[in-house]
Structure 1
Amino acid sequence: MKKQNLITGGVYLVLDPEMNRATLLHKLKEALTGGVRLLQVWNNWPASFGLSAKQDLIGDILAVASAYSVPLLINEEWQLLKDTGLAGVHFDTIPADYEVIKAEIKRDFICGITCGNDLEAVRWAEQNRVDYISFCAMFPSLSAGSCEIVSPETVKKAREITQIPFFLSGGITTENMAALQELDFAGVAVISGILNAASPQKSAAAYIYALNKLKK
């Protein structure tokens, strides 16, 4: 299977490593049972975490995710791909040394990038044949606080540039997703909408239902 075929859309869960580990792993398993198809470890580590602590947590997450055959990506810290089973990396901005990064990783990996209203990241993604683009933020969100609000016109213009799968993120709920119906996107990226839910399994399933309803 080509790595590109792994990114077909659906619900993309971004994990917050600051959460209590046992709680995070429990919620992760529930979310995967609910149908989450892609995972990322957010670059929001506890201040006390060094390299070995990060590798340990990644190992624990991989042990859960592997049972569901769901790929796990890391936010920004691509060096962690060298000594773990991570499937890829998500960049918040265009990396200045992408060719060097690819040479150092020395294996095939999934790559995604965040895009705001500046379409330069989309052009870079198309030129470098990355696997997906995540637009942040479509709505106000505490966890996506550093993202600007992306206009629907930006997403439409981006689709004229590339056919790379799009994920929409930032403040997306099952209720407001209908406002995005006119846009061409493959999936949604979520943090608190699933991790803070009373039942991550039911929440993930609800996102999938809302997403599928838009595509009918």
Structure 2
Amino acid sequence: MAPPLCRLYLITPVRLDDLAGFGRVLSHALDAGDVAALQIRLKGAPDEVVAAAVDALAPIAQSRGVAVILNDRPDLAVRLGCDGVHIGQDDAPYAEARRLVGKDRIVGVTCHDSRHLAMEAAEAGADYVAFGAFFPTATKAAKTRADPEILTIWQESMQTPCVAIGGIQVANAAGLAAAGADFLAVSAGVWSYGDGPAAAVKALNAEIARGLAERA
């Protein structure tokens, strides 16, 4: 049996006023350790702002083998050449997102603290389901609080990968990796880390390894 895996999934800040500057920060962060995906999440931004962000950041991520996921907008994800889209329960339905992006792009679905929603998404064909929030977060208003046990139960019963999201930082990452997360989605825990984003990526990967050692 293959050893369990858990990888980082970075989410951009909700505003990117200096794309060139953030691009440099992102480059250093991605070079500091393993990162599976970057979600570009600019809630409420005009299409042209989202397009500019993707144009600036996607080449940085994709050249390093990091998948670029666009939040909310399957139509834009296709037009801008993203690797996939992440949709919430209040966004386009999964079937509509899949129709728009096709079978070869990633579609991930927010499932809050609900195994029922997650099972529906997985059975429909979602590439991953996201549970959370696990901890208090200032990035967005969390509607639900998830218990790490949901990751363990999911891992034992389902094949579709699960993403843990919400308030994740270096201090609490190991427990979620140990509980069964396939990916840890982190935003402020990287970009606002005291020693800088690159140090956060390095530290988070170390904590993930520690959690996986417990899970093995």
Question: TM-score by structure 2 length?
Answer: 0.85
Tell me how far 1:97 sits from its aligned partner.
Answer: 4.1
Q: 1:202 aligns with which of 196, 199, 202?
A: 199
2:185 is aligned with 1:189: yes
Matching residue of 1:4: none
Q: 2:26 aligns with which of 15, 25, 28?
A: 28
d(CA) in 2 for partners of 1:210, 1:24: 25
| Paired amino acid for 1:40 | Q
d(CA) in 2 for partners of 1:117, 1:97: 18
Matching residue of 1:18: 15
Q: Which runs of 5+ in 2 are unaligned?
A: none
Change (3 A) 1:155 1:91: same
d(CA) in 2 for partners of 1:124, 1:189: 21
| Paired amino acid for 1:211 | I
Structure with more relative contact order (C-alpha pairs < 8 Å, separation 6 or more): 1
Tell me how far 1:110 sits from its aligned partner.
Answer: 0.5
Deviates more, 1:80-89 or 1:22-31: 22-31
Contact 1:116 1:137 in 2 (8 A): yes
| Paired amino acid for 2:169 | T
Tell me how far 1:153 sits from its aligned partner.
Answer: 3.3
Alignment RMSD (CA, Å): 2.2
Residue aligned with 2:205, SS: helix
Deviations 1:86-136 (A, max 9, x none): 000111217664334333334511011122222222112221222222211
Residue aligned with 1:215, SS: helix
Matching residue of 1:44: 43
Matching residue of 2:163: 167
Contact 1:123 1:161 in 2 (8 A): no
Q: Which runs of 5+ in 1 are unaligned?
A: 1-7
d(CA) in 1 for partners of 2:121, 2:90: 9
d(CA) in 1 for partners of 2:208, 2:189: 14
Over the matched positions of the two proteins, sequence identity in percent amounts to 23
d(CA) in 2 for partners of 1:40, 1:184: 21
The 5 A counterparts of 1:1-216 are 9-20=6-17, 21-35=19-33, 36-45=35-44, 49-93=45-89, 97-106=93-102, 108-180=104-176, 182-197=178-193, 198-216=195-213
Residue aligned with 1:12, SS: strand
Contact 1:137 1:170 in 2 (8 A): yes
Pairs aligned (count): 206
Residue aligned with 2:9, SS: strand
Contact 2:133 2:146 in 1 (8 A): yes
